[in-house]
Structure 1
Amino acid sequence: MGFAGSVVVVTGGASGIGRAAAELFRSEGATVVVADKDGRAADEVARQLGGESVAVRTDVSNSEDVRALMSFVDARFSRLDVLVNNAGFGVAGTVQDLPEEDWDRLMNVNVRSVFLCSKYAIPIMERCGGGAIVNTGSYTAMVAIPNRVAYVTSKGAIASLTRAMALDHAAQNIRVNCVAPGTIETPWFDRSFAESDNPDEVRKALNDRSPLKRMGRPEEIAEAILWLASDRSTFATGSVLTVDGGTSIW
């Protein structure tokens, strides 16, 4: 899709959807910066990607880390074409029983990181004539699920933040979109299966969320991210692209 010579930053790029996106952008010719709090895993992914791809250990909820990440990208490559704000996680809980510190921690990683990474990426993109930002949201921005109040709220905020940034930065030739995955088979779910007393039952319940009766694959979401960042979607900005196997249409 024409990413040769492009520089792409992927947050949460050491595993799951982020890793699949990093691999796909690299296969299309991009130089990928793998930003992840797990520096060792990020180093390994960057090594496997090859070329000029590099890892930067980053806590995306920390403004100093994010400024350092974007300063590194600017100094090393003098450009930034695509930012994939993918880092995020979930915790269980309702408003009544979720600890305040868990709410704050999740909001910092899921929402504050999108604000921070975009804030410090946009000046580089603008100087280079524009770029694309793709945020990883969730179908839960449209259809709530029980006992995940912080996660659902954070993904709703990402959808709104996407639209606001798209409006604010269109004149700078910066497109901002969001991909909204359904339940995706990532290492987080692998750990959940391993810790469950009945992994098969848990897996079936997750599969049954979708009319397609399966979880999605990280590579399927990576394809949507690539399209939103590419020249094949030049009239798309402020969009939330749902890729959830039909879960939100039940």
Structure 2
Amino acid sequence: MSKVAVVTGGGRGIGRGITEQLLAANVKVLVAQRQPLEPPLSNNPNVQWVEADLSHRDAPTNIAKAAEHYFGGADILVNNAGIMFERSLEEMTEDEWDTMMAINLRAPIFLAKALLPQMRRKGGGCIINIGSIEGHAANSFHTAYCASKAGVHGFTRALAVDLGKDNIRCNAIAPGWIDSDLNSNYIQSQPDPKQALRELTKQHLIGRTGTPSDIGNIVAFLASDAASFITGQVITVDGGRTVKLPLPF
């Protein structure tokens, strides 16, 4: 019997790479996001969509109901959706902070809570949270984002401790630079986009930036029985970017 995954933000960017790799592993997927799915995902009989704004408190309950309705419950949760903004501490407002925490931190935790009865009924499950290398280190003006992703890493470990008795594993992935429309636009906004991309690529030991399928592959592995002895881990997937110490020459 095919497993069932809920993937937040699973129709675009990293989320789409995750959805596609799970489908390739014979997993049925419920995509939870604000935008409707586009072809070919919208035409795939193993994919369903539920409209969800993760800043709203009722989103986790509605997503869990949809998972039950379409597939009879979920075995896998991938908390992928998130937001990012750049603000200095002086400029950041409390409303902006609250929105970041609601989407990046509160929604993943309470979606796990909402799906917990389904996973227990099925005899176990797997929760995979998309954190960030910025849960370990920081870029300028990312106070809220770094705090939210460090929180994701922290509650990943805590849930692994609490839910192990239910045969529910919980791991996180900390991606580095992954090619996406958002990141491409950021590069294009630089004074010299070609030079910016060259310098960025130099930071990666394997000589390239990441792709959504790079994250999708590790998600599919962690969701599989091959990873049944892995829980409570934060796995960095960044092409080696964060392991090389910088030198001033």
TM-score, scaled relative to structure 1: 0.91
Selected match of 1:8 from 5, 28, 32: 5
- CA distance change for structure 1 residues 33 and 43 in 2, over 3 Å: closer, same or farther? farther
Q: How many residues align?
A: 244
Return the offset for 1:125. 0.6
Structure 1 residue 9: Cα displacement: 0.8
Q: How does 1:1-250 map to 2 (within 5 A)?
A: 5-38=2-35, 40=36, 42-44=37-39, 46-48=41-43, 50-250=44-244
Alpha-carbon deviations, 1:62-89, whole Å to 9, x = none? 2212211111111222221111000012
Root mean square deviation, CA, Å:
1.7
Larger helix fraction of residues: 1
The CA deviation string for residues 8-67 of structure 1, in whole angstroms up to 9 with x for no partner, is 1110111111101101111111111111122x2x2545324x123111111123221221
CA contact (8 A) 2:23 2:46 kept: no
Whether the 8 Å CA contact 1:21–1:219 is kept in 2: the answer is: yes
Matches of 1:34 and 1:117, distance apart in 2: 13
Aligned-partner residue type, residue 15 of structure 2: G
Structure 2 stretches lacking a partner, 5+ long: 245-249
SS at match of 2:242: helix
129-138 or 185-194, larger mean C-alpha shift: 185-194
Cα contact 1:14–1:45 (8 A) shared by 2: no
Structure 1: runs of 5 or more not aligned = none
Cα offset for 1:143?
A: 2.0
CA contact (8 A) 1:211 1:245 kept: yes
* TM-score, normalisation: structure 2: 0.91
Task: Calculate percent identity across the aligned residue pairs.
Answer: 32
